[in-house]
Amino acid sequence: MNRYAHIDAMRAFAVLLVVFSHAGLSFVPGGSGVTIFFVISGFIITFLLLREREQTGGFDVSGFYMRRLIKIFPPMLLALIIPTLIYMSLGGKIDIIDFLGQIFFFFNWRYLDSQVTVLPGSVVTWSLSIEEQFYLVFALIWLFAVKSKHYKKIVAGIASTAIIYSICSRIYLSLHHATGDRIYFGTGTRVEAIALGTLVALWFFTYRNTPAVQGRRVVGTRFRNTRRIRDGRTVPLMGRNTIVILAVLLYLVSLLIRDEFFRQTIRYTIQAIAAAMMILWGQIAIREKLGEQLMNILRWKGLQLLGLASYSIYISHDVLYHFLEPHLEMLPRPALVLTLVASGLTLGILMYRCIEVPALRYKDRHFASVHTKAQQKSA
């Protein structure tokens, strides 16, 4: 899958929300950044597996897991495992089960009441646990579904069921006075966003070569570029400016409504829908003029770099914050926030360039997907 500029820009936006929030700006909705990451993850993994099935008729499950391991483990080793071991050797208190939960991706279930004892700043790994639980379960389902000619319907049915279950479980728990942590950190309560990304990938994969994505070709001298006709094709519904505007408005509404029941239930749904709309809008081949101008902004190299480095930034920034803050207490608050954010972004980008990039090159040499191998041969 070629990199999509708008998705990397969405990753950049999501990770910036998180790093500014953790730097002390409590009004920045860092949690919404996690929801955006979940939707992107569901879309990416589903699209990749659908394409592999189309090209090979099957599923290389061992290659899938090796690619995941090579992607996530090197930055985790540097940002979490080694610092935790050093922290323990210096007398820092660590709960071994909590630490193992971070490594083996059940940490979110240890964190349901926010009572964990881990490396300061490393609790962000709760969201990685949910993502990796999804990858594990989805891959096992896909291993069997891929053999059926109705594989798309099977995945769509499971994803839709997960969405309904997730929404209903949040409502049930909220009505029965469950804690916000139980809803926020639970796999079942948060899987909705990942499942919605799966449905978006199914739709895009199915219709990617149709007028719904490519636009309908128009001919004749009377057809010129207008708001709804660009380069000889009509602008599909999902490529129109109204989609971007509606996605932004939905996201803002999810932040502005402060009712507690709404925040524990429908807020997550609205944010996931807004992210899904942006993903689809960016996939459409023909967009209106304002949309193309926005896409040019999203392709800015700085945003793209932050998006590419978002995993390393996410996993490392808050550990660094906890180390630096005691030494920066003399700074005015604005300077402190900017110093922390700049340090966190810099460390994450360095980790991406020095750790992730070599690991990804190794992955492509030894465990490349069928599509990646085909691209390498044609290059």
Q: For residue 214, is it within any domain?
A: no
Structure tokens at 84: 């935790």
CB-based contact 17:32 (threshold 8 Å): yes
Torsion angle defined by CA atoms of residues 48, 373, 53 and 159, in that order, rounded to the nearest 10 degrees: -10
How many domains does the chain contain in total?
A: 1
- Report the sign of the C-alpha dihedral through residues 71, 76, 81, 83, in that order: positive
Q: How far apart are CA 238 and CA 231, in angstroms?
A: 17
Q: For residue 365, is it within any domain?
A: yes
Q: For residue 222, is it within any domain?
A: no
Structural domain for 312, as ranges = 5-207+236-371
Among candidate residues 317, 321, 312, 324, the one with its CA nearest the CA of residue 354: 312
Query: For position 2, what pLDDT does the model report?
Result: 44
What integer is the mean pLDDT of 323-346?
96
The model's pTM is: 0.94
Q: Which tens digits make up the pLDDT trace of 196-218?
A: 999 999 999 999 999 999 998 88
Q: How far apart are CA 306 and CA 290, in angstroms?
A: 24
Q: How far apart are CA 108 and CA 123, in angstroms?
A: 9
Q: How far apart are CA 79 and CA 317, in angstroms?
A: 9
Q: For residue 227, is it within any domain?
A: no
Query: For position 255, what pLDDT does the model report?
Result: 97
Query: For position 100, what pLDDT does the model report?
Result: 97
Q: For residue 378, is it within any domain?
A: no
Q: For residue 218, is it within any domain?
A: no
Number of CB atoms found within 10 A of residue 113's CB: 10
Q: Which tens digits make up the pLDDT trace of 296-313?
A: 999 999 999 999 999 999
- In sequence order, what are the residues at sequence separation of 6 or more whose Cβ sits closer than 8 angstroms to the Cβ of residue 136? 105
Which DSSP string do the residues of 205-250 spell out, in sequence order?
HHHTTSHHHH--B--STT----SSEETTEEPPGGGSHHHHHHHHHH
Q: Which tens digits make up the pLDDT trace of 93-129?
A: 999 999 999 999 999 999 987 789 999 999 999 999 9
pLDDT at 224 over 80: no
What integer is the mean pLDDT of 52-58?
91
Q: For residue 280, is it within any domain?
A: yes
What integer is the mean pLDDT of 355-375?
77
Query: For position 372, what pLDDT does the model report?
Result: 55
- In sequence order, what are the residues at sequence separation of 6 or more whose Cβ sits closer than 8 angstroms to the Cβ of residue 304? 5, 8, 9, 12
pLDDT at 222 over 70: no
- Residues above pLDDT 90, as percent of the chain: 80
- Residues above pLDDT 70, as percent of the chain: 94
What integer is the mean pLDDT of 58-86?
94
Q: For residue 229, is it within any domain?
A: no
pLDDT band at residue 20 using 50, 70 and 90 as cut-offs: very high
pLDDT at 373 over 50: yes
pLDDT at 370 over 60: no
What integer is the mean pLDDT of 69-90?
96
pLDDT at 286 over 90: no
